[in-house]
Structure 1
Amino acid sequence: MRALCYTCPGTHLYNLKQPETIYPDDVLVRIAYAGICGSDINIMNGHEDDFLKIKKGDCYILGHEAAGYVAELGPKATAKGLKKGDKVALYYNQHCGKCYYCRNGQEQFCSNMQSRGGFFADYAVVNEQQVFKLPDDTDMREAALIEPISVVQRGIDLLGLRPGMKVAVTGGGGIGMLFVQLLRLAGAARLTVIEPVEEKREMALKMGADYVIDPKKEDVLARSLEITDGMGFDVVVESSGVVPVIQTAYEILGRGGTLELFACYGKQAAYSLDLASFFTKEVKIVGVFQSPYMYPRALELFQRIDKKPFIRHIFKPEDWEKALEVRKTGVPQKVMFDFTDGGKA
């Protein structure tokens, strides 16, 4: 089967043996579509070697945003009523359900977590707990958005957002656009996107933003204070992944507000905090790791947002270099791989 792998260093498309099940409740899934995430780029740049325990020469299959079809079921994969041919969305980690963190409602910190992603491939083996059945009429290109929807909604949960709060998002990429739609559903007011690229600002307005700010041509702080009646935003989500933008996000945050650092900032990235203003503003700074327990809700939200604008850049795995080039430009749409031909020429 085809598999796009990071080899520490290097990235290549390989022909690998189809994976086999490990546990009796495992599921073999034929991948349909898989989206490229910023964290995939970080892995390819070598920023996650230590965290993922990747060693030089390893063939680490990339990808964790995917949807596909059930190809085979283990003899004990019976809890969810899955059957061969079902359309499914996939999560990328298997949790033990037994450790302190799992039993404390913090599955994302599972002491025995197994990374079982590797969805840039024709097939993947995952545990039944990672598989979520989709309606028969689901568009599988759109279904590859369910994982990013889940983690964006996890980010919104961590904000403590109440309807009517004034919210800004820095960065208008694919994640920023998902935030716009889901924040709108959550009741965000004066929803503002700060983004230098005109196409992204235009898309943000179509997605439901009330205001957009061009940081290259406008004074972001002055414009933000104008939008918020001089008070600053109650919530600011930093989704650009550009470290200097964090300071801008902090400056436009109002007193008692919450700043969420959502993006992947790369190895050894750091932000210097002005402790005096941090004290007087009484703000909160929040990080987002993973999206435990989110898929049932993500599947519901998936039905309520506009997915079509995200589906534009789709590539065969053989064109992976071109796909990565497009992804690195920061387009507001998702960049996806199409595995539906099953590796056939």
Structure 2
Amino acid sequence: MLAYEYGSDGRMALREKDLPRAAEGEVTVDVVAAGICGTDLKIARGEHRLFPPGTVRVPGHESVGRIRENRSGRADLEPGTPVAIAPNIACGQCPPCRKDLGPLCEDYTSVGLTFDGGFAEVVRVTARGVAGGNVLPLPPGLDLVTAAMIEPVAAVVRGLRPLRLTPTDTVLVCGAGPIGLTAVVLAKQAGVRKIIVSQTSAARRELARQYGADETIDPRAEDLVERVFELTGGIGAEVVIAATPVHQVFTDAVRAAAKGGRVNFFAGLPSGKGEVTVDANLIHYRELLVTGSTANTAADCAEAMEIVARAPEAFAALITHRVPLREADHAFELATSGEALKVLLEPQT
């Protein structure tokens, strides 16, 4: 089969690989679509902690398709069944897992991160993943292409959960890529009072308005923090989401928060370059809650699947490019260009 693989030379390339086969308890999936996200771009740059020098592995953790082989015994996973794959597989027994911190599992495995993923014609899901509910049959009527948004939506669902959005909140989203725009959609669905989006691209600021932002800010043209306080009558934003991997964004996220505000550091910075300057006195005297979030669980993906199924058009619109797997180099160029939102690789075309 054809796969887009990270090689021992630290480069992504198309390669022919043996077709994976399902062992006892496992399934294999014919991949219909696999999304490219910031994590994959970080892998391609050789900056991901789970891809140390010498790693040979197929990335791709936002994958959907149809069951090819089913050796799990599950009747709802018969061949041909359309499914989404929740990539992060937890043991369910360690201390983090017992606290619903599956992405921090002490025996963590993940499709496309610790073993071969969806940038291939066929992907295998381990027995632990199948038993843990990481293979999700799609609800009737939800097409496979739109379902490729389930995993990124799940990541945003997890990031927003501790922020406890309420109708009296002003929400500041820093970054209007697929994650930031998804946060805008979910905040709008939660009925918050006002949504402000900070984004350098004029085209993406316009998209943010189309998705529900009440105000947009170009942080290169005006002071982000000052403008947020102007727009909120001197109060600041009750909720701030740092959804772009820019060091200054994390600093400004804390500064823009209202008293008692909740801040989420969603984006991840490159390995070894994660230090940012944050005014601890602001956290102390404003009694801010600063949270981090990483990845998602199978339960998060199941919740996201319901969200996407209720409003598929909102999430389908984030998919701007669909590229055959054999043109994966071009797909990654699009994903890094800034002109695309969500880029999908399609191995079956």
TM-score, length of structure 1 as denominator length: 0.92
CA distance in 1, matches of 2:254, 2:93: 39
In the TM superposition, residue 160 of structure 1 has moved relative to its aligned partner by 2.5
Query: Which residue in the other structure is 1:45 paired with?
Result: 45
Q: Which runs of 5+ in 2 are unaligned?
A: none
CA RMSD, 1 decimal: 1.7
Query: Which residue in the other structure is 2:156 paired with?
Result: 152
% identity of equivalent residues: 30
Query: Which residue in the other structure is 1:115 paired with?
Result: 110
SS at match of 1:67: strand
In the TM superposition, residue 124 of structure 1 has moved relative to its aligned partner by 0.4
In the TM superposition, residue 26 of structure 1 has moved relative to its aligned partner by 0.9
Superposed, 1:64-143 pairs within 5 Å as: 64-74=61-71, 76-78=72-74, 81-117=76-112, 118-126=117-125, 127-128=129-130, 129-143=133-147
CA distance in 2, matches of 1:280, 1:151: 30
Range moving further from structure 2, 31-40 or 254-263 = 254-263
Distance 1:222 1:54, change over 3 A: closer
1:58-92 superposed Cα distances (whole Å, 9 cap, x missing partner): 32101101110011100x331x6221111101011
CA distance in 2, matches of 1:164, 1:26: 47
- Is residue 2:233 matched to residue 1:229? yes
Superposed, 1:235-254 pairs within 5 Å as: 235-254=239-258
Do 1:253 and 1:259's aligned partners in 2 also have CA atoms closer than 8 Å?
yes
In the TM superposition, residue 44 of structure 1 has moved relative to its aligned partner by 1.6
- Is residue 2:270 matched to residue 1:274? no
Query: Which residue in the other structure is 1:34 paired with?
Result: 34
1:85-141 superposed Cα distances (whole Å, 9 cap, x missing partner): 111010113222233333343322222222233110000011323100113432221
Letter in 2 for 1:112: D
CA distance in 1, matches of 2:307, 2:60: 22
SS at match of 2:184: helix
Do 1:88 and 1:134's aligned partners in 2 also have CA atoms closer than 8 Å?
yes
CA distance in 2, matches of 1:308, 1:160: 26
Query: Which residue in the other structure is 1:168 paired with?
Result: 172
Do 2:171 and 2:238's aligned partners in 1 also have CA atoms closer than 8 Å?
yes
Letter in 2 for 1:121: A
1:200 to 198, 204, 216: 204
Do 2:63 and 2:148's aligned partners in 1 also have CA atoms closer than 8 Å?
yes
CA distance in 1, matches of 2:33, 2:79: 18
Range moving further from structure 2, 234-243 or 312-321 = 312-321
CA distance in 2, matches of 1:82, 1:134: 11
CA distance in 2, matches of 1:195, 1:101: 35
Superposed, 1:257-268 pairs within 5 Å as: 257-268=261-272
Q: How many residues align?
A: 335
Query: Which residue in the other structure is 1:329 paired with?
Result: 337
Do 1:166 and 1:235's aligned partners in 2 also have CA atoms closer than 8 Å?
yes
1:287-330 superposed Cα distances (whole Å, 9 cap, x missing partner): 11121221221111102331232122111122122111111123
Letter in 2 for 1:162: T
CA distance in 1, matches of 2:51, 2:217: 40
1:318 to 314, 326, 338: 326
CA distance in 2, matches of 1:114, 1:308: 28
1:135-192 superposed Cα distances (whole Å, 9 cap, x missing partner): 3432221111000011101111021322321110001111111110011112222101
CA distance in 2, matches of 1:222, 1:215: 10
Do 1:21 and 1:28's aligned partners in 2 also have CA atoms closer than 8 Å?
yes
Do 2:255 and 2:282's aligned partners in 1 also have CA atoms closer than 8 Å?
no
Letter in 1 for 2:16: N
Do 1:31 and 1:339's aligned partners in 2 also have CA atoms closer than 8 Å?
yes
Distance 1:119 1:193, change over 3 A: same
CA distance in 1, matches of 2:340, 2:233: 29
In the TM superposition, residue 200 of structure 1 has moved relative to its aligned partner by 0.5
1:12-49 superposed Cα distances (whole Å, 9 cap, x missing partner): 11110011224x2211100000110101111122222x
2:303 to 297, 300, 303: 297
TM-score, length of structure 2 as denominator length: 0.91
In the TM superposition, residue 332 of structure 1 has moved relative to its aligned partner by 5.6
